[in-house]
Amino acid sequence: METNLEADLKELRQVFNSGKTKESSWRISQLHGLLHMLEDREGDISMALKQDLGKHHVEAYRDEIGTVVKSVNYALKNLKQWMAGKKASLPVAAFPSKAELLPEPLGVVLIISSWNFPIGLSLEPMIGAIAAGNAVVLKPSELASSCSSVLAETIRDYLDNSAVKVIEGGSAIGERLLQHKFDKIFFTGSTKVGRCVMSAAAQHLTPVTLELGGKCPAVVDSFSSSRDSSIAAKRIIWGKFGACAGQACIGIDYILTEKKNASNLVEIFKKYITQCYGDGPKGFHNMSNIINKKHFSRLKNLLDEPGLDLRLFMVVCWMKRACKYIGPTILVDPPLDAAIMTEEIFGPLLPVITLERIEESIEFIRARPKPLALYAFTDNENFQKRLISETSSGSIMFNDVILQYAVDTLPFGGVGESGFGRYHGKYSFENFSHDKVVFIRSFLIDFWFRYPPWDDKKLQLIKAGLRFDYLNVILIALGLKSKA
């Protein structure tokens, strides 16, 4: 395994050094290859997502296949513009000169993907890496083994295998990969593993993008319109339970609302949960399963935590635990020091925390690590402005959830413990590029006062020049003025 890994990485480095991946024709051909792969093998990819996560084929297309197709088309449409250099504005003091910022690929990059959206979170960053002209190693998550296999097979068949390679395996392979020198590492996963990735990258001074998670809150204000309340509740239910059964870093982790609003809100939640998922296991075909027994047990333990008496607070819509499925579960006012409120839930359990005043949500959020996303359902513009100015998060969205992830013109990424670096659309291209400064100076003019030996006159000329006070530069140089 080690010998093959070494050989693969050596080949990738040789191919990149040949300049092959820098050619626009290569980049375009690989992006078209991704499109053909997604179109030709849609059924195989959907089946793999079903096997690993129980995703309905509609959910699989909506959240993974379709969004990647959209992203590839967007990259193809804009690639020529992204690759073009950007002219830089220069001060008059630099005359006669010209400069530009020229994007160049970083080299051989490593993408370590996550299991919850195993296709999308593998291919989205790969689009940017290929568009930027890099050679790529993709390490899919071994937890989504069917998706890992289908990625390895299809990428080998549709892309240039000398420059784009999928390396499968568990944590041991991941650790081996991290021992090698890459020119960029893009990691999606937990904060715990993210720290390990960053530590390993530091040994080679390799730049890292970390897409992590966190507890994303949704602040739910009261609405004057029952219609608005219903739409808000429906969107929340979709954002919590409809995205991989809550196993989404950008999904809602918990609700903050006023105590007077809580009972009505929970009743509306129950209504839409029943509409979307039924009231028993027969609704499971519309909802993803928990990835494996380990995570199933972890979620079960959140509810069975010693000292956490479920009789002390409300639990509603609990479906029978079956195999790896857990139904939508709402908990009202669990203790704030319970694990369910201190750890990222990553599953279909939704705590509802009640406050006396909705404005208290600002301090509640500020007292905790910065989330990847903050959602707020309110038509109060002053409250919206306060949330924007007084909280920090990777993104903030009002009156809907998750949609910001699918917009190619917006960057996606975290802040603080939810990660750093951003991608999607042009931001993916920039993530895997270096803007090289190209500065060209003419021999036409040469300022004599930039060179020693030094005297006071040269000092005055340098001071005037750094202030862009060109009139004084001329007067001093001609001896018509003694001080700048």
pLDDT digits (tens, 9 = 90+) for 263-272: 999 999 999 9
Kindly provide the residue ranges of all beta strands, DSSP E only, lying in 356-423, ordered along the sequence.
Answer: 373-377, 395-398, 419-420
Cα–Cα distance for residue pair 160/166, rounded to 1 Å: 11
- More reliable by pLDDT, 152 or 315: 152
| Average pLDDT along the chain | 91
Specify the residue for token string 């009231």.
279
pLDDT band for 95, please (50, 70, 90 cuts): confident
Q: What pLDDT does 180 receive?
A: 96
Least confident of 53-67, 278-292, 311-325: 311-325
Q: Which of 78, 70, 81, 5 is nearest to 35 (CA)?
A: 70
Cα–Cα distance for residue pair 11/17, rounded to 1 Å: 10
Q: What pLDDT does 359 receive?
A: 97
Largest CA distance in the chain: 93
- More reliable by pLDDT, 447 or 258: 258
In the chain, pLDDT over 70 holds for what percent of residues?
A: 92
What DSSP designation does 412 have? B
Q: What pLDDT does 424 receive?
A: 96
Least confident of 218-222, 246-250, 475-479: 475-479
In the chain, pLDDT over 90 holds for what percent of residues?
A: 77
pLDDT, tens only, 168-179: 999 999 999 999
Asked whether the predicted pLDDT for residue 86 surpasses 80, the reply is: yes
Residue 366 burial by Cβ neighbours in a 10 Å radius (0-12, 13-18, 19+)? exposed
Q: Which of 391, 354, 355 is nearest to 375 (CA)?
A: 391
Q: What are the φ and ψ backbone dihedral angles of 437, each rounded to 5 degrees?
A: -80, 125
Q: What pLDDT does 2 receive?
A: 45
Cis peptide before 334 (omega within 30 of 0): no
Cα–Cα distance for residue pair 74/458, rounded to 1 Å: 54
| Mean pLDDT within 215-239 | 92
Cα–Cα distance for residue pair 143/141, rounded to 1 Å: 5
| Mean pLDDT within 426-431 | 97
pLDDT band for 1, please (50, 70, 90 cuts): very low
Q: Give the tokens for residue 229.
A: 């309340």
pLDDT, tens only, 2-52: 458 999 999 999 999 999 999 999 999 999 999 999 999 999 999 999 999
Cα–Cα distance for residue pair 81/429, rounded to 1 Å: 11
What does the H/E/C string look like for 68-130? HHHHHHHHHHHHHHHHCCEECCCCHHHCCEEEEEEEEECCEEEEECCCCCCCHHHHHHHHHHH
265 touches 233 (CB < 8 A)? yes
Which whole-number Å values give the CA distances from 132 to 73, 137, 291, 425, in the listed order? Answer: 15, 14, 33, 11
Asked whether the predicted pLDDT for residue 320 surpasses 60, the reply is: no
Q: Give the tokens for residue 189.
A: 């996963």
Asked whether the predicted pLDDT for residue 336 surpasses 50, the reply is: yes
Least confident of 247-251, 293-297, 384-388, 443-447: 443-447
Q: What pLDDT does 322 receive?
A: 58
3-state helix, strand, coil in the chain (%, to 5): 50, 15, 35
pLDDT band for 471, please (50, 70, 90 cuts): low
353 touches 259 (CB < 8 A)? no
pLDDT band for 72, please (50, 70, 90 cuts): very high
pLDDT band for 56, please (50, 70, 90 cuts): very high
- More reliable by pLDDT, 43 or 224: 43
Which residues belong to the active site? 211, 249
pLDDT band for 282, please (50, 70, 90 cuts): low
Least confident of 10-24, 35-49, 81-95, 327-341: 81-95
| Mean pLDDT within 145-169 | 97
